[in-house]
Chains A and B, each alone.
With several copies, the nearest count.
Chain A
Amino acid sequence: MIKITEKPIDVQKVIDTATSLGAGAVNVFIGTVRNTAHGKNVLWLEYEAYESMAVAEIRKIIDEASHRWPLLGWAVSHRVGTLKPTEVSVVVAVSAPHRRESFEACQFIIDSLKAKVPIWKKEVFEDGEEWVSARPEGVSATYN
């Protein structure tokens, strides 16, 4: 299951989707919105996705992970829209026969997702907002 959704993510449902009968190990990564960034309070985040391409890129990542580890099940769900601190932005769950494989595959998927999948977040502070990682360090990035 690959899902890009505006609705809150049901973590248990993602886990259930990834869990296979023959699996002994399930690893789950949950990304949540932090309440601070650059030492400032985060009011909320705006996530947006290029949805068709995001789904295609996640599928490529899953294909590569399935090639490298004996995955028995997997599920990836990413939220878009407005998210407040503590809300869940992403859930990756994989199941495998043994725990090491489940850890390695899950970490590979979230690392690759963050590096390659066309999804963007904007941090909104009291005094401005900023597209995360868009500009090099040192270039003024917060504007009103």
Chain B
Amino acid sequence: MMKTLKIKAFGITRDILGGREVELQLNESGTVGDLRSQLSSTYPEVLQLKSLFIAVNNEYADDHVVLNDTDEIALIPPVSGG
């Protein structure tokens, strides 16, 4: 079984993914780390970033966190506010 995840993309990742929100398919047991791998193969430009964090439900998430299709998932490239 696959699950469909909606991914919010901000800053430079919005340019790389070509949109403010994209959908990706992941295995039922897919984690943040799996999402990271899939992004890297689909959008190799993300490998050039200084860093890429992934937020789940408004919190920075570790690679081992399992994703659900109800989660709010977001790509956080290097921040530059202020």
Bound Cα distance A116, B58 (Å) = 12
How many residues of A sit at the interface, in one of the four size bands?
Answer: 20 to 34
Write out the residue numbers on chain A whose beta carbons fall within 8 Å of the beta carbon of B15.
131
Contact flags A85-100 to B (C-beta < 8 A → 1, else 0): 0000110000000010
Residue from A110, A113, A121, A131 with most neighbouring chain B CB atoms (10 Å)? A131
Q: A113-B82, A120-B81, A139-B48 are in contact. Are A131 and B55 (CB under 8 A)?
A: no
Bound Cα distance A115, B78 (Å) = 9
Contact flags A105-124 to B (C-beta < 8 A → 1, else 0): 00000100111111111100
Question: Taking chain A's interface residues, is the majority helix, strand, or loop, or is none over half, making it mixed?
Answer: mixed
Whether, in the assembled complex, B74 has its beta carbon less than 8 Å from a beta carbon of chain A, the answer is yes
Chain B interfacial residues counted at CB < 8 A: 19
Residue of B nearest to A24 (CB): B82
- Which B35-49 residues sit within 8 Å CB-CB of chain A? 48-49
- Which A71-104 residues sit within 8 Å CB-CB of chain B? 78, 89-90, 99
Bound Cα distance A54, B11 (Å) = 14
Residue from B11, B74, B81, B82 with most neighbouring chain A CB atoms (10 Å)? B81
Q: Which of A8-16, A45-53, A62-70 contacts B (4 or more CB under 8 A)?
A: A45-53
Whether, in the assembled complex, B24 has its beta carbon less than 8 Å from a beta carbon of chain A, the answer is no
Bound Cα distance A90, B80 (Å) = 12
Residue of A nearest to B55 (CB): A53
CB–CB B10/A134 < 8 A = no
Q: Which 4 A-B pairs have the closest CB atoms?
A: A119-B81, A120-B11, A132-B80, A131-B12
Q: List 13 A-B contacts (CB under 8 A).
A: A50-B8, A50-B74, A50-B76, A53-B59, A99-B82, A118-B79, A120-B11, A120-B80, A131-B11, A131-B12, A134-B50, A135-B48, A136-B48
